[in-house]
A and B are shown apart, each in its own frame.
Chain A
Amino acid sequence: MRLEKLLSLTHGNAAYWSAFSAAGDRLATASLDNTVKLWSLPDGAHVGTLKGHGDGVCFVGYLADGRIATVGLDRTARVWPAEGGSAEITFTGHQDYLTSGAVQKSGMLLASAGFDKTVRLWDAQSGRSLAVLTGHTANIQCVALSDSGKLAASGGDDQIVHLWNLEAGTLLRTMPGHTRGIEGVAFSPDETRLASACADGCLKLWNLGGELIANIKTDAIPLKSVCFSPDGRWIAAGAADGAIRVWDYASEKLIATQPAHRNTVYGVTFSQDGKLFASTGFDRTIHVWRVIAEG
């Protein structure tokens, strides 16, 4: 597998996260410049900007109905129309900076997490708060939702992955073992595995019973972000050295190291058909890549 760069897009400040629309014809990018920019694909034309957050935007995702969810450092999560405009819903309640968010690809769940050590769940349909998940003892840096909406995972400066049962609103289990802060978590598409990327450069794979399946050591310190390809074939991670690393999930073998950014890679994501990939960097750029599966 290799990545071939298609486009480079820019923000006025660090780019934190990006998300492809379900059809793959739009890319939304979140930035420390307080905005989310909307781009058409494949031409990369800038088609809109979401303005309203009072601080940087750390997460953006497309909801199942096509609307856009964002999480801002300003302690709010918001839901926006697909074509832009003003936020339709603003979720409040967090007590400190937010660092991360996640959406359920096939539903309307939105998760947000941050320095108040809580993960909060929101219903993007009704605008209701669903749960406040407590248990972390330090700043949370990352959160993920399973596609089924039954599970959430989170990690942060307490170095322990937390797995949450969303149906019960309870902590399912914790997964200690990392030696520095956890910067990224992701569920495998089949919801049997969890990947966690750590500031110590280790990528760990867990089963949902909490067993460590693999411990992949890298020279990328810190790792900053992680995601699975939609078919579960690959795991990609972004790191402070500006490179994207891709592993074959089955063999756990590193199959690509792609220099990409001049600063930390804050976000990595595949399009839903797996044909495109986007990376967001503290260097203010977003690169859109074509995924070329070789062999």
Chain B
Amino acid sequence: MNTARAGSPFCDGVSRRTMLKAGALAMGGLSLPQLLAVEEATGRKSQKSIIMVFLSGGPPHQDMVDLKMDAPVEIRGEFKPIPTNVPGLDICEHLPLLAQRMDRLAVIRTLVGSVGRHDAFQCVTGHGPLNQPPGGWPSLGSAVSKLQGATESGMLPFVGLAPRMKNRPWGDPGQSGFAGQAHAPYCPNAEQAQFGLNGLSLDQLHNRKALLDSIDRLNRQADKSGALEGLAKNYQNAFGLLTSSKLLDALDLEQEDPRVRDWYGRGAQENAGYGDAGPLMNDYLLAARRLVEAGVRVVTLAYGRWDWHGRPHGTNFENARDHLPIFDQGLSALLDDLHARGMDKDVTVVVWGEFGRTPVINKNGGRDHWPQVGCAMLAGGGLRTGQVIGATNKLGEHPVERPVHFQEVFATLYQSIGIDPATATLPDQGGRPTYLVDSMYSPLPELV
């Protein structure tokens, strides 16, 4: 199976070919060849990376990592807690594999600051959608792409694995915002496109490249300074993005040992729910590992449908019994895989949704939206795992200890990938240097 379902343009509809057109690659002022030149000049080859698993719809914190067994029956729910390998930390009985690996996870039980919108925006940018700076907030992946570029020629810094889905805001892999469209994610699972080439065959591409090379040779003959030599090399790298097999290889799970896919759990290709949300697709978790291993800096994916309002679409608990075991298998395999490959210190994994769910179970056996508090899980990246951060009250309604804002998680993620959120800025569309995280938020001291 190739997770690059028929390939695709970039998620904002801009194809790589468009970006390459005439060599005029507007990348926030830098062309792609220029950017690659900067990469080469700095010699930076960081392998730090982030995998963000977005649980589309808002996972029920109180049925996963913050069970309230002392709450009344209309709140408590159907599940029982089980102990984990971290003393004192219990989680849901339907997450037994993760329970054995909680020393490799940090659980945030008090995620606050949700704007309450049913979309991935806040999870992928750290900000709400209102009052955005000119150009709009860049998502994590786009900001990292802009600040750090690609790890090597032929590799893209930011990949979004979400397929197109009916509820498109759930499939938002992360907008480029004022980082510029050149830093939009590459979305191999978007529909109706071919990988990068937008219908152009490799032969055709090489013909165009040959033409460009001819023009370049003329230019070089005219320009005796040698400046164009470096530019030509970076055009080579730009073409490498299209023609390198490394990214495609990473996406082609047919190249993976079938036993590894079985270990992850494979999952369903169909979009979860009623076609409106991310598929419950453990292959995407495996693809994410392959991508970061190949050199992608940030991978986002929408996983499952967690918006469980109840019948007739199944109760919250029926849906949880459906999703949690698959999620348990997939995330556990990812953690083990990263650990076994020695990547767990470099790759940060964050798992969360846009909000939590109501403490009170509604008349249809569901839980509704609850922006007051939610949960998140982080792993890897050299973070101090094996701990719980924050506590909610006995009904799971609100934090009573250590509320953690979305932006604190973002500050932690930026730091984990080597970007100091206190100093790093990007120019917004008006040219004003803009911090990626509000200055009042810092990386979580408990974790870094």
Q: Mark A271-289, 1 if CB is under 8 A from B, else 0.
A: 0000000000011100000
Flag whether A111 is at the interface (Cβ < 8 A): no
The residues of A that contact B268 with a CB separation of less than 8 Å are 12, 284
**In whole angstroms, how far apart are the Cα atoms of A284 and B275 in the complex?**
15
Q: For the complex formed, measure the closest distance between the CB of A74 and the CB atoms of chain B, giving whole angstroms.
A: 9
Which residues of B are found within 8 Å of A98, using beta-carbon distances? 312
Q: Does A29 contact B (CB under 8 A)?
A: no
Inter-chain contact B270/A32, CB cutoff 8 Å: no
Residues 100-128 of A at the B interface (beta carbon under 8 Å): 114-115
B residues 280-317 near A (Cβ < 8 Å) are 311-314
Q: Report B-chain residues with C-beta under 8 Å of the C-beta of A99.
A: 311-312
Question: A197: shortest Cβ distance to chain B, in Å?
Answer: 15
B273 within 8 Å of A (CB atoms): yes
Q: A14-B314, A97-B312, A115-B312 are in contact. Are A33 and B322 (CB under 8 A)?
A: no
Q: Which residues of A contact B313 (CB under 8 A)?
A: 32, 56, 73
Instruction: Find B318's partner among A14, A58, A97, A157 (CB 8 Å cutoff).
Output: A14
In angstroms, Cα B244 to Cα A260, docked, is 49
- For residue A283, which residues in chain B have a CB less than 8 angstroms away from its CB? 321-322
Instruction: Return the contact of A14 from the options B275, B322, B325, B364 (Cβ within 8 A).
Output: B322
B272, B273, B312, B322: residue with the most chain A Cβ atoms closer than 10 Å: B312
A52 to chain B, nearest CB (A): 13
Q: Which of B275, B321, B364 contacts A263 (CB 8 A)?
A: B321
Q: How many residues of A contact B (CB 8 A)?
A: 25
Report the minimum CB–CB distance from B167 to chain A (whole Å). 13
In the complex the two chains form, what is the Cα distance from A258 to B312 in whole Å? Answer: 25
Q: Check: A13 CB closer than 8 A to any chain B CB.
A: yes
Pick from A55, A141, A240, A263: contact of B322, CB under 8 Å: A263
Q: A-facing mask of B229-265, CB < 8 A → 1, else 0? A: 0000000000000000000000000000000000000
- The answer to whether A12 and B312 touch across the interface, beta carbons within 8 angstroms, is no
- Bound complex: CA A115 to CA B363 (Å): 12
Complex Cα gap A12–B275 (Å)? 10
Q: Do A282 and B274 form a contact, CB below 8 Å, given A56-B312, A56-B313, A157-B363?
A: no
B274 / chain A contacts, CB cutoff of 8 Å: 13, 32-34, 55-56
Contacts of A159 in B (CB 8 A): none
Contact of A282 (CB < 8 Å), options: B270, B273, B314:
B314
A76, CB-defined interface residue at 8 Å: no
User: Would you give the shortest CB distance from A77 to chain B, in whole angstroms?
Assistant: 14
In contact, A32 and B311 (Cβ under 8 angstroms): no
Q: B320: nearest residue on chain A (CB-CB)?
A: A263
A2 within 8 A of B: no
Contact partners of A73 in chain B: CB under 8 A: 312-313
Within the complex, what minimum Cβ distance (angstroms) separates B100 from chain A?
20
Assess whether A70 is interfacial by the CB under 8 Å rule: no
The minimal Cβ–Cβ distance linking B382 to chain A, given in whole angstroms, is 37
Q: Verify B312–A282 contact, CB threshold 8 A.
A: no
Report chain B residues within 8 Å CB of A262.
321, 325
The digit string for A1-31, where 1 denotes a CB below 8 A from any CB of B, is 0000000000011100000000000000000
A264 proximal to B (CB < 8 A): yes
The residue of chain A having its C-beta at the shortest distance from the C-beta of B275 within the complex is A34
A73: nearest residue on chain B (CB-CB)?
Answer: B312
A282 and B321 contacting across the interface, CB-CB below 8 Å: yes
Contact residues in B for A32 (Cβ distance below 8 Å): 273-274, 313-314
Instruction: Specify which chain B residues have a CB less than 8 angstroms from the CB of A264 in the assembled complex.
Output: 314, 318, 321
Query: Using Cβ atoms and an 8 Å threshold, which residues of chain B touch A263?
Result: 318, 321-322
Chain B positions within 8 Å of A115 at CB level = 312
The minimal Cβ–Cβ distance linking B363 to chain A, given in whole angstroms, is: 7
Nearest-CB residue, chain B, relative to A54: B274
Q: Which residue of chain B has the shortest Cβ distance to A34 in the bound complex? A: B274
As a 0/1 sequence over residues 315 to 344 of chain B, the CB contacts with chain A under 8 angstroms (1 = contact) are 000100110010000000000000000000
Chain A residue nearest to B78 in the complex (CB): A240
Give the complex CA separation of A115 and B318 in angstroms: 19
Contacts A14-B322, A262-B321 given; does A33 touch B270 at CB 8 Å = yes
State whether B270 touches A13 (Cβ < 8 A): yes
Tell me the chain A residues, 124-180 only, with Cβ under 8 Å from chain B.
139, 141, 157
Interface membership of chain B positions 349-376, coded 1 if the CB is closer than 8 angstroms to chain A and 0 otherwise: 0000000000000011000000000000
The chain B residue sitting closest to A264, CB to CB, is B318
Query: Do the beta carbons of A282 and B318 come within 8 Å of each other?
Result: yes
Q: How far is the CB of B403 from chain A (nearest CB, A)?
A: 34
Write out the residue numbers on chain A whose beta carbons fall within 8 Å of the beta carbon of B364: 139
Q: How far is the CA of A282 from the CA of B275 in the complex (A)?
A: 16
Q: How far, in angstroms, from A262 to B313 measured CA to CA in the complex?
A: 17
CA distance A283 to B94 in the complex (A): 14
Which residues of A lie under 8 Å from residue B275 when comparing CB positions? Answer: 33-34
Question: What separation, in Å, do the CA atoms of A262 and B94 have in the docked complex?
Answer: 12
In the complex, are the beta carbons of A12 and B318 less than 8 A apart?
no
Q: How far is the CB of A21 from chain B (nearest CB, A)?
A: 26
Indicate which residue in B312, B318, B322 contacts A114 across the interface (CB closer than 8 Å): B312
Q: CA separation between A114 and B364, bound complex, in Å?
A: 12
CB-CB contacts of B124-140 with A at 8 A, as 1s and 0s? Answer: 00000000000000000
Min CB distance B265 to A, Å, is 14
Which chain B residues border A13 with CB–CB below 8 Å? 270, 272-274
Residues in A with CB closer than 8 Å to B363 are 139, 157
A-B contact sample (15 more), CB < 8 A, given A32-B274, A97-B312: A12-B268, A13-B272, A13-B274, A58-B312, A98-B312, A99-B311, A114-B312, A115-B312, A139-B311, A139-B363, A157-B363, A264-B314, A264-B318, A264-B321, A282-B322
Q: Top 5 nearest A-B pairs by Cβ distance?
A: A12-B270, A282-B318, A99-B312, A263-B321, A97-B312
CB-defined A-B contacts under 8 Å, sample of 7: A13-B270, A34-B274, A56-B313, A157-B363, A264-B321, A282-B318, A282-B321
